[in-house]
């Protein structure tokens, strides 16, 4: 034992002798004028519990004021506890020798079928990913979300074998979630509300379930995308008729409910990660997110690292903050961040104006129509001269005068309240229909909703055209008239996929040297299971019932990748989480069904790697990627060292005592063995700049194979790779290569940047192993 370790243990022993010599531990008696409480997640030393305490829980409680109780204790992905403290109590807790760090809690929010067929997963294939993986039958996917509605047919356990013998989880039963709610499909179900209730008080059990049962719908939807069984017929309100199926139809589900009416609380999320890994899951699907903070302050990043360290693949929604730059969330390199694309199906519902023009729109309204294109109705806009101003333009609650709206189609601007709620506002005011217009920021991206009244969504340019028509009609003293014509379901749409307008974009705001999102998957207008208690629009006044509904969001894209990861893990049990992500990234595609680079839905222009990462997932190719870029937990530690994190910061994330000297000698942040490459140059007066990347690939293809490099450099830059040929003699063999990037300074205004992209590809004639290469030039202020 080193002298420093001996000194530390001696100090710790003296501290606890003094602790026990008093009748009870108390915080200092100085007057605490701060009565504002906040929840903190407290990281403690892994091996510091004195033997005098029977459990860690007793030890943690001894550290707190007598009036404070623990919210959660953690011991699998993280060592510590959470508690609600005042600022001064938190400061005093920080001084205790066994406490490493306090992490303030954040509140996160949800990132809210034909997709298996679109992805090339067909049950009739005699060989392929579904067949090779036995549909994922022994793999367990954890869905950390809003719970589940277990009675849905998507979760039946017909023809499933016994629960995997490795499983250590449990089905937490309550009055509204009896033991019959679990079966050989849903093999685990838990709920975590202590963090939520410590901030908000006792939940209102008339509006949400104190159980794993879903009172929102989001968790049921995402669980069935990841692992729903085959259900036929499936549709919502007559739209998207066909077979509904998840990505891994035989995979088992374990549900961890952490999201409640006011959000998803970090202390509960970390408890869910802790339980999921302890229970024995293989994949975590996490369609929740929030602000980006350093990894040592991010409970999601910390929980996900612990999962990855235990061999669990973590897929997370990239966020719905697009199409703006720097909006991507869940950006830690041990998390697979998934953006959203369209599939080749849509639901046209076009606006026919009185001047003969037709504005394209989309909707999944399923009630009586408006009588065909010839029957027109008065068309009004709350933001016009005759309207009631800003609130009415957005169709906010109580903003529409019935005299203004009754019997008319109302144009509503998108924003503030939900899209379906705007339709409810129009209905209450006597309106007969609604047109929902995107703002400039939303661009041309359209989301189809299950509206309560005849309604459609149009893009920003369509909204401008309709507003101009209304304004011109007012000036001409002639009434504006229109109707909405619903066309049902259209398939084989071109182009597809398209990057969804809402899908969050890079660059990575925390670590620009790691390209995020990693990839995109289907996330627009996805049909999946839905609870009984909630109408398909998701608003309280909607009393319609449907077994499935259509939702959009990176929340829907994430479970596609979670299910695919389960299939890949089943087909390749020896693959690490990083290997699975590598296979998905290096085989992803960037061209649409017209053979051209995918477009950006918000603008109609060509999209970039900052929009789609490595590209759109291609499951069949991912099963046989040829080469993989593997990453160990120690590689991630070196990455954190190269971020110049302190030893304490790194310990909070990794539960490891580290020495960063070797890592910092070894290179820079971009040298993490990631399947994509991102260089960031600060233009500080130099004309020529260069950097290098060291990468290691592992052969998972043919034993004797020769790969040659194909370089597509970013425009105006020089890229070299050494060696240019990799010769493999066996499966599992690892070979290194070096990529050098040279760039000339470009003219930029202070504080601005320029992004250019290219790629490198290793090919043996059978496998094409592609990595995007992004170069960012920044001009300092």
**End-to-end C-alpha distance for the chain, whole angstroms:** 50
- Which residues, listed in sequence order, are joined to residue 88 by a DSSP beta bridge? none
Q: Which two tokens stand for residue 35?
A: 């009565």
Query: How far apart are the C-alpha atoms of 65 and 98, rounded to whole Å?
Result: 16
Please say whether the beta carbons of 240 and 550 come within 8 A. yes
- Cβ neighbours of residue 208 under 8 Å, at least 6 residues apart? 215, 216, 260, 261
Q: Which of 289, 190, 265 is nearest to 40 (CA)?
A: 265
Query: 16: helix, coil or strand?
Result: helix
| φ, ψ (nearest 5 deg) of residue 637 | -60, -45
- Backbone dihedral region for residue 706 (phi beyond 0: left; psi -120 to 50: alpha; all else: beta): beta
In eight-state DSSP terms, residue 518 is -
Q: Which of 107, 211, 100, 76 is nearest to 149 (CA)?
A: 211
Burial 430-463 (b: 16+ CB within 10 A, else e): bbbbbbbbbeeebbbbbbbbbbbbbbbbbbbbbb
- Cβ neighbours of residue 476 under 8 Å, at least 6 residues apart? none
In eight-state DSSP terms, residue 555 is H
Angle at 319 between CA 136 and CA 114, to 5 degrees: 45
Query: How far apart are the C-alpha atoms of 249 and 135, rounded to whole Å?
Result: 6
Q: Which two tokens stand for residue 1?
A: 């034992």
- In order of 122, 628, 629, 677, the CA distances from 585 in angstroms are 21, 10, 10, 12
Please say whether the beta carbons of 526 and 115 come within 8 A. yes
| φ, ψ (nearest 5 deg) of residue 679 | -110, 135
Q: Which two tokens stand for residue 193?
A: 């509300």
In the chain, count H helices and then E strands.
Answer: 20, 38
Please say whether the beta carbons of 46 and 79 come within 8 A. yes
Catalytic annotation, residues:
145, 218, 555
How many residues in total does the chain contain? 781
- In order of 30, 36, 83, 616, the CA distances from 33 in angstroms are 9, 9, 19, 54
């Amino acid at each position: 034992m080193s002298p420093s370790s001996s000194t530390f243990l001696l100090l710790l022993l003296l501290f606890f002798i003094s602790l026990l010599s008093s009748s009870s531990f108390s915080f200092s008696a100085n007057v605490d004028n701060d009565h504002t409480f906040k929840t903190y997640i407290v990281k403690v030393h892994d091996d510091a519990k004195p033997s005098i305490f029977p459990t860690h829980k007793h030890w943690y409680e001894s550290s707190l004021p007598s009036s404070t109780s623990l919210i959660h204790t953690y011991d699998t992905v993280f060592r510590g506890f959470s508690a609600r403290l005042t600022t001064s109590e938190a400061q005093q807790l920080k001084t205790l020798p066994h406490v490493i760090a306090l992490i303030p809690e954040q509140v996160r929010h949800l990132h809210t079928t034909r997709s298996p067929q679109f992805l090339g997963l067909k049950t009739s294939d005699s060989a392929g990913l579904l067949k090779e993986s036995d549909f994922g039958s022994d793999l367990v996917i954890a869905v950390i979300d809003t719970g589940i509605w277990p009675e849905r047919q998507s979760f039946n356990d017909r023809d499933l074998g016994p629960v995997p013998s490795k499983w250590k989880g449990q089905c937490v039963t309550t009055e509204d979630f009896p033991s019959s709610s679990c079966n050989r499909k849903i093999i685990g179900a838990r709920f975590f509300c202590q963090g939520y209730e410590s901030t908000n008080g006792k939940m209102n059990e008339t509006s949400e379930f104190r159980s794993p049962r879903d009172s929102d719908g989001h968790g049921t939807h995402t669980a069935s995308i990841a692992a729903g069984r085959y259900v036929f017929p499936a549709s919502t309100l007559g739209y998207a008729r066909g077979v509904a199926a998840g990505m891994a139809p035989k995979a088992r589900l374990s549900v961890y409910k952490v999201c409640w009416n006011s959000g998803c609380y970090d202390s509960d999320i970390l408890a869910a990660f802790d339980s999921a890994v302890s229970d024995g899951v293989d994949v975590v699907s996490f369609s929740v997110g929030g602000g980006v903070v350093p990894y040592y302050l991010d409970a999601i990043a910390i929980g996900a690292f612990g999962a990855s360290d235990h061999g669990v693949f973590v897929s997370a929604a990239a966020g719905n903050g697009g199409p703006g730059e720097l909006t991507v969330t869940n950006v830690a390199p041990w998390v697979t961040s998934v953006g959203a694309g369209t599939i080749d199906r849509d639901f046209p519902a076009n606006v026919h104006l009185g001047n003969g023009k037709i504005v394209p729109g989309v909707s999944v309204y399923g009630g009586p129509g408006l009588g065909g294109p010839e029957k027109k109705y008065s068309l009004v806009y709350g933001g016009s001269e005759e309207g009631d101003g800003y609130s009415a333009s957005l169709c906010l609650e109580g903003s529409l005068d019935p005299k203004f709206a009754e019997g008319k189609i109302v144009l509503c601007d998108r924003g503030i309240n939900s899209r379906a709620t705007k339709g409810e506002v129009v209905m209450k005011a006597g309106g007969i229909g609604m047109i929902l217009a995107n703002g400039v920021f939303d661009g041309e991206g359209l989301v189809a909703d299950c509206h309560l009244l005849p309604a459609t969504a149009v893009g920003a340019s369509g909204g401008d055209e309709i507003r101009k028509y209304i304004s011109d009609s007012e000036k001409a003293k002639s009434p504006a008239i229109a109707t909405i014509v619903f066309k049902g379901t259209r398939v084989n749409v071109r182009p597809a996929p398209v990057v969804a307008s809402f899908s969050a974009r890079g660059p990575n705001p925390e670590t620009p040297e790691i390209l995020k999102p990693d990839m995109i998957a289907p996330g627009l207008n996805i049909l999946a299971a839905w609870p009984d208690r909630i109408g398909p629009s998701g608003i309280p006044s909607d009393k319609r019932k449907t077994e499935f509904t259509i939702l959009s969001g990176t929340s829907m894209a994430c479970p596609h990748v979670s299910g695919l990861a389960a299939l890949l893990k089943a087909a390749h049990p020896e693959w690490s989480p990083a290997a699975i992500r590598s296979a998905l990234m290096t085989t992803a595609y960037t061209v649409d069904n017209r053979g051209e680079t995918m477009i950006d839905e918000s603008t109609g222009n060509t999209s970039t790697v900052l929009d789609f990462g490595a590209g759109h997932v291609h499951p069949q190719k991912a099963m046989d990627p040829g080469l993989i870029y593997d990453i160990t937990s120690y590689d991630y530690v070196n990455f954190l060292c190269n971020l110049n994190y302190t030893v304490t910061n790194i310990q909070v994330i990794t539960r490891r005592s580290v020495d960063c000297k070797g890592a910092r000698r070894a290179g820079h942040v971009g040298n993490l063995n990631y399947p994509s490459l991102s260089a960031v140059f600060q233009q500080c007066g130099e004309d020529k700049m260069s950097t290098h990347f060291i990468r290691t690939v592992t052969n998972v293809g043919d034993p004797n194979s020769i790969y040659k490099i194909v370089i597509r450099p970013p425009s105006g830059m020089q890229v070299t790779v050494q060696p240019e040929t990799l010769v493999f003699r066996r499966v599992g063999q690892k070979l290194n290569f070096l990529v050098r990037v040279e760039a000339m300074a470009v003219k930029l205004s202070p504080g601005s940047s320029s992004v250019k992209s290219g790629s490198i590809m290793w090919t043996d004639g059978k496998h094409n192993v592609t990595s995007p290469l992004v170069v960012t030039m920044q001009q300092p202020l």
